[in-house]
């Protein structure tokens, strides 16, 4: 059995890797704000580059103006990116330190790739928004911040980059910080951390910068290693969509009836009163199985099989919740929609909505408004085009049991599917029962 794994900077026990806390974050900024260089610097200075990657990096002909290696190479995932000098998809990078594992989503900055940013941000715990110290807050900064607020990301880091090009000026940093604070207040983004950095020179990325003694905060990596993001585990909203009903019906397991799925949020205990939705039937948990052994209590992220005191009719797509804190149940739902298809939204046709393990037919009953994501102005609309964002009323063929996205995004998001092409055409953030 393998007990140890060799990583670029040290040897750690295999068990330590899988028990480590995981932080998922994404980066966003204008095209020339230095996202790729920042990620490259983060990987390089934290010694999170494999030997073959390091060799390829050293042999590359791509250099910065000062002759140093162009660390942006480390995020070049697509040939078209390298040819055009822009990111046109979501590139994922994985690394870890001795304190935490990380997944980085490097998202595009262009407005025509809004859907890509939404994809990267929707699975993230934290957003890094880059601002060029020379330009300050610009239109794309506002757009990216709007998407962060729409997706209810609670943790935002504003990296004011290229401080080396403004002589590491404290006044420049404070001016940009004040300007962004006004935007954050308007968008109700509550937790914002500001860090002055130079991705090119390595200031405040992994190591604290000696060239900005006026900044008393943490380096970017130190902040990422120590921030707490486990709200879902502490949630009182226990939710488990049923993936599979297990009925072996063998001589040995003649009366076995289990309901398998992954706990989305909160926790379940043996003896706890539960409700099965959308039927509304009540019961009590009699036993909880996991892959290892029976448990008295299970938490978010765990794959489990629940056994109930009563034999009731439960199907794939139903959701088990704690009876003391039930979600909304409705066939008419108000939701924010990000349209992701080149074919425009057609309110006259039937779509499919996938909410956890539940798949239902649906129609867009009404378009309430679209949002100009550069000015944040709400505008009237009768259709959605690629990358449009706005609010709709969705009418579903079957009731959905959901939480408002701002309360529990794990049970408040869904996707729209076009049955003609089987493509995902929209991302939904449920807001309220519109019935």
CATH of the domain at 283: 2.40.30.10
Shared domain for 279 and 416, answered yes or no, is no
Last residue of a domain, one of 187, 210, 229: 229
Q: Are residues 225 and 251 in the same domain?
A: no
61 with 140, same domain: the answer is yes
**Do 199 and 63 fall into the same domain?**
yes
**Per-residue pLDDT reduced to its tens digit, 191-246:** 999 999 999 999 999 999 999 999 999 999 999 999 987 655 556 899 999 999 99
Q: How much is the pLDDT for 79? A: 41
Tokens, residue 371: 């949002």
Long-range CB contacts (within 8 A, 24+) of 46-49: 46/9, 46/95, 46/97, 46/206, 46/221, 47/8, 47/9, 48/8, 48/9, 48/95, 48/96, 48/97, 49/8, 49/74
The distance from CA 188 to its chain's CA centroid, rounded to whole angstroms, is: 18
Domain boundary among 229, 247, 280: 229
Please say whether the beta carbons of 403 and 430 come within 8 A: yes
Res 219: pLDDT: 97
pLDDT for 28 equals 87
Q: pLDDT averaged over consecutive 10-residue blocks of the chain (435 residues)?
A: 34 43 88 80 78 58 58 51 48 85 79 75 91 93 91 94 97 98 93 96 94 97 90 74 88 83 95 97 96 91 95 94 96 96 94 97 96 88 91 97 93 96 95 80
Per the structure block, which two tokens stand in for 322? 């704690």
Maximum separation of any 2 CA atoms in the chain, in Å: 78
Tell me how many domains the chain contains. 3
Domain span holding position 408: 328-433
Residues 77 and 224 both lie in one domain: yes
> Are both 314 and 370 inside the same structural domain?
no
Same domain, 260 and 171: no
């Amino acid at each position: 059995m393998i007990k140890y794994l060799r990583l670029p900077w040290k040897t750690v026990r295999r068990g330590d890797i899988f028990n480590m806390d995981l932080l998922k974050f994404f980066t966003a900024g204008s095209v020339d704000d230095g996202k790729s260089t920042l990620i490259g610097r983060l990987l390089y200075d934290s010694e999170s580059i494999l030997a073959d990657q390091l060799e390829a990096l050293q042999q590359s002909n791509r250099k910065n103006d000062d002759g140093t290696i162009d660390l942006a190479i480390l995020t070049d995932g697509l040939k078209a990116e390298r040819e055009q000098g822009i990111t046109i998809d979501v590139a994922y990078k994985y690394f870890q330190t001795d304190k935490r594992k990380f997944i980085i989503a490097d998202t595009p900055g262009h407005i025509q790739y809004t859907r890509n940013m939404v994809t990267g941000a929707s699975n993230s715990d934290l957003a890094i928004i880059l601002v060029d110290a020379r330009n300050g807050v610009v239109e794309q900064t506002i757009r990216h911040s709007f998407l962060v607020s729409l997706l209810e990301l609670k943790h935002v880091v504003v990296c004011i980059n290229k401080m080396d090009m403004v002589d590491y000026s404290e006044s420049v940093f404070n001016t940009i910080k004040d300007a962004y604070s006004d935007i954050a207040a308007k968008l109700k983004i509550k937790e914002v951390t500001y860090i002055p950095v130079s991705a090119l020179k390595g200031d405040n990325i992994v190591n604290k910068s000696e060239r900005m003694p006026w900044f008393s905060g943490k380096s970017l990596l130190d902040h990422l290693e120590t921030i707490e993001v486990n709200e879902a585990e502490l949630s009182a909203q226990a939710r488990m969509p049923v993936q599979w009903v297990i009925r072996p019906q063998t001589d040995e397991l003649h009366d076995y009836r289990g309901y398998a799925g992954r706990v989305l949020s909160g926790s379940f205990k043996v003896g706890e009163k539960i409700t099965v939705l959308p039927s509304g039937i009540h019961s009590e948990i009699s036993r909880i199985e996991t892959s290892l052994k029976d448990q008295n209590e299970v938490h978010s992220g765990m794959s489990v099989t629940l056994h109930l005191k009563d034999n009731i009719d439960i199907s794939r797509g139903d959701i088990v919740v704690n009876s003391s804190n039930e979600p909304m149940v409705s066939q008419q739902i108000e939701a924010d929609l990000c349209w992701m298809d080149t074919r425009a939204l057609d309110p006259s046709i039937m779509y499919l909505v996938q909410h956890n393990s539940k798949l239902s037919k649906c129609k867009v009953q009404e378009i309430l408004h679209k949002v100009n994501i550069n000015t944040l102005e709400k505008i009237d609309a009768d259709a959605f085009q690629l990358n449009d964002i706005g609010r709709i009323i969705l009418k579903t063929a079957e009731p959905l049991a959901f939480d408002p996205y701002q309360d529990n995004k794990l049970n408040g998001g869904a996707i729209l599917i076009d049955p003609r092409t089987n493509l995902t055409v929209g991302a939904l953030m449920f807001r309220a029962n519109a019935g």
